[in-house]
Chains A and B, each alone.
Chain A
Amino acid sequence: MTRTVSRDDPRVLLESPATIYDAIPPYPPRSEREAEFYALRDGEMLVNLGPQHPSTHGVLRVVLKIDGEQVVDLDPVLGYLHRGIEKLAENADYHQAICYTDPLEYVSSLFNELAPVMAFEKLVEIEVPRRAEYIRILSCELLRIASHGLFTGWLALDLGGYAPILYGFIERDEIVEMLAALTGQRMLFNYMRIGGVNGDLNHEFMSRLGEWMSRAAREIAANQTLLNENEIFVRRTRGLGVIDRETALRLCLTGPALRATGVPYDIRRAHPYSVYPELEFDIPTRDEGDSYARYLLRLDEVKQSLRIIDQCLEQMPDGPCMAKIPRLIRPRPGRAFAAIESPRGQYACYAISDGTDQPFRFRIHDPSFVNLQSVGVLVPGNLIADTMAIMASLDPIMGGVDK
């Protein structure tokens, strides 16, 4: 057996300057799969895609085994953005734990707060005022539109398009400024509270929202003409990364990636929470299961979100936006689970209380992580350029994947 040395051993540089360029890990293979992956046949080559690469959506590292331009196999390496958020949250009291979850999926922070807040409310057994529930849904759906707008831009950017990402950011910026008027922050809102929300609707938010809603549908539709029927875009995404229904269910995909295969599974309807049972909206599905279907599905979801926002504004009840809860929460020992539909799929939180003021266990189920595992099925056999299109169409956010 050959002797391998660690990469941080200074002798490596002195003895063999070429070895530092290898994507092969410095330790012997630790599983059959690793041994098979890192054994190269003739003409094959390993390429490190990431962690610093223009199109890995953060710090995902994918080791691609390529034969010419074709990807033969791939090995995703996670953990570059691991911050130990779950463990940090276990060492903070219930109110403080919420603000740790914000930077998980950082383009849709409100969803990251909503799931733990709902879990904690189940632990404490308190009733949330209906106005607070409506405000939560309203702000979450706004952020869903912003997140999908960014997704469109990212997908186009990974395909080489230049304008959509900037139009997506303009769209997102308007929503985020609007939410900043409501919550006080632009990105990590920290708005949800156990028993309600941090602040009531105010004039600035409502006037911005009204002004935006009057032109939102038109502008979003206008921006979509860049890609929707663009021959280059359609040819590059249609029939790419096709995943069938059985495989999607077997891989536990959720969210648009699952609905694009024709399964109408949406937590908002399947396990309704908050005030969704009182709202009218459809669950769009598509049957193709390819990247283009995932793209179009998100555009349909944006339309449904606009519908939900309209209804929220119409049905917004009066009343307090925060329940009376103590400053220090000590729930009875027990466990709680809450799942919501984030822009990427099922986002869930599981918390165990041991009777103290800190959660004994706090776990997050993140849709990006679960959806990302399908790249192992989807990518091999495609070209390098399609790797990006497939990964972008799954819309993973590395903050959530690495926690």
Chain B
Amino acid sequence: MSRIPGLGIARGMALTLRRLFQPKVTVQYPEERYPVSPRHRGRLQLLYDEFGALKCETCFQCAQACPIECIDMGGTDTKDRFHVHWGPPEQYAERRSESALRRSGRPVPDPAYTAFEPVDLAPLEAILAAEDYDPRRMPAILERTQAAYGHLPVATLKHISHSTGAWYAEIYGTASSCEHLRFEAPTTRAIGLCRCAACTLAGGGRLRAALEAAGGTELPGTTPDGALTLAAVDCHGASPGDPYVTVDGVPQRGLSPEKLAELATAIRAATARPGRA
């Protein structure tokens, strides 16, 4: 600041007054144009050589190198015979997300972004009220929710997020890092057996007895551990001389009662989960 008060302001005012009369710098765009440097790299156009031929040889190197894959090329080959194309044909947004998934090199499960089934939230409300809507008791909330619903449906996670204030991503992260918490209902496999007269006569009765013994339940029913469903299917006369058996909907041939019992036991051992009593 100078000694004389107001001198600094006066000098500034003098500068702006001088600027008032100086030539202006604005470029009036549509009429005037700024000269573009020959080295300018922003042209969105294909260049021609001095003979008027397109310089582009359709080598696709630019499209391959483009980091965000916004170059999408199509054309004919050098002898003008085949149509050649680089780049996926989808819309840009789809391509971008697809590309992001591909680049990440791993499957990205994101149930947060898929539509979810609504569930009855009354049991969850009871659990949350008991846990005081406290996000710091998240493991307990999640375990009790799984006990109530069998697994953690997305709807319940969303509701927990809304009610406790914890972010969905936090809850999802907590749940996915716990071995015993699961987001989908445990997969149930099914063994089907036809009970028509032809199949029963061909040995279906013995198969049924072996199956019910191995599964510990009646034929139309589910084993106590929930791992295996015994279903009644209809052969529609498809397997003459052999009882019609399906495993997960796939018809099986030539199964003896012992083999079927073994199969059922193996399936039960493989798919049973500790979380379910």
Contacts and interface: CB of A to CB of B under 8 A. Distances in A.
Chain B interface size band reads 35 or more
B104 interface: yes
Contacts of A170: 25
Contact of B161 (A3, A6, A182, A230): A6
A5 B162 contact: yes
A88 B42 CA distance: 22
Interface stretch (B33-41, B70-78, B141-149): B33-41
Interface in A72-103: 88, 91-92, 96, 99-100
A99 B15 CA distance: 41
Contacts of B164: 27-28
A168 to B, nearest CB: 13
Contact of A229 (B1, B41, B42): B1
A3 B16 contact: no
Given A99-B67, A180-B37, A204-B38, A229 B8 contact: yes
Contacts of A234: 1, 8
A170 B8 CA distance: 23
B243 interface: no
A18 interface: no
A230 B8 contact: yes
A92 B100 CA distance: 11
B135 A231 contact: no
A27 B132 CA distance: 14
A229 B19 contact: no
A227 interface: yes
A177 interface: yes
Contacts of A184: 37, 39-42
Nearest to A26: B165
A111 to B, nearest CB: 20
A225 B11 contact: yes
A228 B162 CA distance: 53
Contact of A163 (B16, B65, B103): B16
Contacts, number: 84
| Residue among B37, B65, B161, B163 with max Cβ neighbours from chain A (10 Å) | B37
Nearest to A180: B37
Interface residues of A, number: 41
Nearest to A161: B12
Given A96-B65, A222-B15, A181 B39 contact: yes
A332 B205 CA distance: 69
B37 A232 contact: no
Interface string B7-20: 11101100110010
A183 interface: yes
B1 A3 contact: no
B196 interface: no
Contact of B133 (A3, A99, A230): A3
A181 B34 CA distance: 12
B22 to A, nearest CB: 11
B6 interface: yes
Interface in B70-107: 103-104
B39 A202 contact: yes
B5 A199 contact: no
Given A202-B39, A225-B15, A226-B15, A9 B65 contact: no
Given A5-B162, A6-B161, A27-B167, A185 B42 contact: yes
A231 B1 contact: yes
23 contacts: A3-B163, A5-B162, A6-B161, A26-B165, A27-B167, A99-B67, A163-B19, A177-B34, A180-B37, A183-B39, A184-B39, A184-B40, A184-B41, A184-B42, A185-B40, A204-B37, A222-B15, A225-B11, A226-B12, A229-B7, A231-B1, A231-B6, A231-B9
Closest 5 CB pairs of A and B: A27-B165, A229-B8, A184-B41, A181-B37, A96-B67
Interface of A: 1, 3-6, 9, 26-28, 88, 91-92, 96, 99-100, 163, 170, 173, 177, 180-185, 190, 199, 202, 204, 222-223, 225-234
Interface of B: 1-2, 5-9, 11-12, 15-16, 19, 25, 34, 37-42, 65, 67, 103-104, 132-135, 161-167
